[in-house]
Amino acid sequence: MKGTRIGNNVMRTPKEKEKILNKYFFSDKTLKQVSIENGVDLSLLKRWKKKYLESGIDGLVSQTGKHNSPVRGKYNRDKLSKKS
């Protein structure tokens, strides 16, 4: 499994996501088969497919850590790190 492991999640680059999706687009495999072979949840793979078809590789850029909420994402991590 490629990508960077964050807790139980694997953070994949847009290129890695595209490579996984191409296994579906350019073969006779189903999304479920690609999901199982690559260790990606089927619902996540469906979201990647939708975003890729709508926006291309730019749609596969992770939004993790881009929240302005004080209880989620980058904003909170930056504030917590300044207290240390």
**Is pLDDT of 31 > 70?**
yes
Q: Which residue has the higher pLDDT, 63 or 16?
A: 16
Q: What is the pLDDT of residues 35-79, one digit of tens each?
A: 999 999 999 999 999 999 999 999 999 887 655 555 555 555 565
Tokens found for residue 56 = 């291309």
Q: Which helix (H) or strand (E) holds 9?
A: strand 9-11
Provide the domain count of the chain: 1
What pLDDT is attached to residue 10? 80
- Domain interval for residue 60: 4-83
What pLDDT is attached to residue 44? 95
